[in-house]
Chain A
């Protein structure tokens, strides 16, 4: 059986052939095509014979004639005009935010000593995502970065010419093009992740206590910006957690895909503490989650989420953790949807 869209195209084509034929507009070629179509199947001939019945044509013409097309067109263009205006305003808003972020990170990068060389005229490319969205970018050296929601990532404009430095706040998955001469480094706070060519995930949201680095394949080296004695080489399947406040590192074995699956649009929770679940869901769906009862934080959650709606996820949490939830919708785009959890 043919896929449905091929069938639809076929129906449209046959319908228009019949219409042209019945109005005597068909070309010789179209006439031949119609003949082929009719000979293809006895049902086609039946359909054709019903279609050309005078009464049926008259019925259709009367049905087609009931709507006021001019009025409908007027309504349509009015709505389009309103939409255009809204889109224009939205674009303008996005642009303003974007420029603001560029300026802001530029200053931050300049005053931060984490960079090895910072001539005053160096400029940065910044990519940032809001909560509820993520994106994929390709760096000048053809490395690919998946940027998760609520993340800012910046690199200097001559990236890959002299060095490969990236600053990150938030979460990103890197697929780094191998270049032994020029290692790629990702800096978040004091932690530097140095890499030759590998696939790894870095999660460093400012609100998190830990910066975590999960390695999928290859090898990366973790360094401290101000402490030369600090250093650890991570192996595939390992997750390193760097405590920002205390400056120490803990490493354990994990199923790395649980941490990197978000780039494929999949969220995996495996015995995940509710605090982590809440933070991830807040970013993923761009919502505010309020916890009414501290006991909720003691729960763990297990689920694999692929393209599920927000309501479905909370239903899942409700059934598997015995937690009640209430979604408070928002009618303003700048106010996030609120979800209240209690048990």
Chain B
């Protein structure tokens, strides 16, 4: 029987372990955002994700690796959402989304990729202190140092300090990206 305490662990076939609480906290936002691609009502999305977490726990089967666990979540969430849409009278626009999703495995896979990528970023940003997070989000909204200082009511120098830390979290030196695609010119700066 799985212990429901905060330390409860799920063993995978390859010997790795997933801490249930860590996994829940790290992926709950991504899974909800994934469900939101199908269903507009955030409360329904939360219900769907909760249900899938429950069935994950109930299954008690051994997943071979963490990919299989995530694949289980994304597929189950998609199926539950489509099921929900099928059985509910919804506004025309949701039905349009549903139809679109239903037809394309491609867009499903792309969506999974997006959530995985943004989940990494989200969990990394979450390690920053509250003010650092706010500064970073405003940087992403293309605000200048002065604008950020005014919005958050802090000194411009404080903004700069936070910015320096934020850049460690989020790679901004996109020259590096250049390197990634064309690995030959060795003289380009490398961060």
Bind each other: yes
Is B38 located at the chain interface by the 8 A CB criterion? no
Indicate if the CB atoms of A57 and B140 lie closer than 8 Å. Answer: yes
Asked whether, in the complex, the Cβ of A45 is within 8 Å of the Cβ of B181, the reply is yes
Taking a contact as CB atoms under 8 Å apart, the answer to whether A72 and B171 are in contact is: no
CB neighbors of A among B53-93 (8 A): 53-54, 57-58, 67-68, 70-71, 74-75
Q: B183: nearest residue on chain A (CB-CB)? A: A35
In the complex, chain B residues whose CB is within 8 Å of the CB of A34? 180
A97 within 8 Å of B by Cβ?
no
Most chain-A Cβ atoms within 10 A of its Cβ — which of B105, B120, B124?
B120
Closest CB in chain B relative to A90 CB, distance in Å: 12
Cβ-Cβ contact count across A and B, 8 Å cutoff: 168
User: How many chain-B residues does the 8 Å CB contact rule pick out?
Assistant: 57
Query: Is chain A's interface secondary structure helix, strand, loop, or mixed overall?
Result: helix
- Decide if A8 touches B170 in the complex (CB within 8 Å): no
Given contacts A8-B71, A67-B46, A87-B1, are A54 and B118 in contact (CB under 8 A)?
Answer: no
By the criterion CB–CB under 8 Å, are B54 and A12 in contact?
Answer: no
Interface string of B12-29 (1 = CB under 8 A from A): 000000000100110011
B-contact 0/1 string along A16-40, CB 8 Å cutoff: 1011111111000001001100110
Number of interface residues of A (CB under 8 A): 54
Flag if A67 contacts B120 (CB, 8 Å): no
Identify A58's interface contact among B46, B57, B140, CB under 8 A: B140
* A185 vs chain B, min Cβ distance (A): 39
Query: In the complex the two chains form, is A19's CB within 8 Å of B119's CB?
Result: yes
> Which residues in A have their C-beta under 8 angstroms from that of B1?
84, 87-88
Residues 25-73 of A contacting B (Cβ, < 8 Å): 25, 31, 34-35, 38-39, 45, 47, 51-52, 54-55, 57-58, 60-67, 69, 72-73
| A54-B183 Cα distance, complex, nearest whole Å | 24
Contact present for B25 and A73 (CB under 8 Å): yes
Q: Does B50 contact A (CB under 8 A)?
A: yes
Are B140 and A23 in contact (CB-based, < 8 A)?
A: no
* Given A11-B112, A47-B110, A76-B53; A23-B137 close (CB under 8 Å): no
Task: Give min CB distance, B89 to chain A, whole Å.
Answer: 21
Instruction: Please determine whether B4 and A19 come into contact, CB atoms closer than 8 angstroms.
Output: no
Residues of B within 8 A of A308 (CB): none
B114 adjacent to chain A (CB < 8 Å): yes
The A-contacting residues of B in range 111-132, CB under 8 angstroms, are: 112-122, 124-125
A298 proximal to B (CB < 8 A): no
Determine if B24 and A76 form an interchain contact, defined as CB atoms under 8 angstroms apart.
yes
A22 touches B119 (CB 8 A): no
Asked if residues A13 and B67 are in contact (CB atoms below 8 Å), the reply is yes
**Are A57 and B4 in touch, CB under 8 angstroms?**
no
**Is B97 positioned at the interface, with any CB of A under 8 Å from its CB?**
no
Known: A21-B171, A69-B25. A7 touches B105 (CB 8 A): yes
From B4, B46, B110, B139, A11 is in contact (CB under 8 Å) with: B110
A14/B121 in contact, CB under 8 A: no
In the bound assembly, the distance between CA atoms of A18 and B105 in angstroms comes to 21
Known pairs A19-B119, A35-B181, A60-B122; A54 contacts B140 (CB<8 A): yes
Residues in B lying within 8 Å of A, measured CB to CB = 1-2, 4, 6, 21, 24-25, 28-30, 32-33, 36, 42, 46, 50, 53-54, 57-58, 67-68, 70-71, 74-75, 105, 109-110, 112-122, 124-125, 137, 139-142, 168-171, 174, 177, 180-181, 183, 191
Q: Which 8 A-B pairs have the closest CB atoms?
A: A19-B120, A15-B116, A64-B29, A58-B140, A15-B113, A19-B117, A60-B118, A18-B117
8 A-B contact pairs sorted by A residue (CB < 8 Å): A16-B120, A19-B116, A47-B113, A51-B117, A51-B118, A55-B140, A66-B32, A81-B4
> Which A residues contact B (CB, under 8 angstroms)?
4-5, 7-16, 18-25, 31, 34-35, 38-39, 45, 47, 51-52, 54-55, 57-58, 60-67, 69, 72-73, 75-77, 79-81, 83-84, 87-88
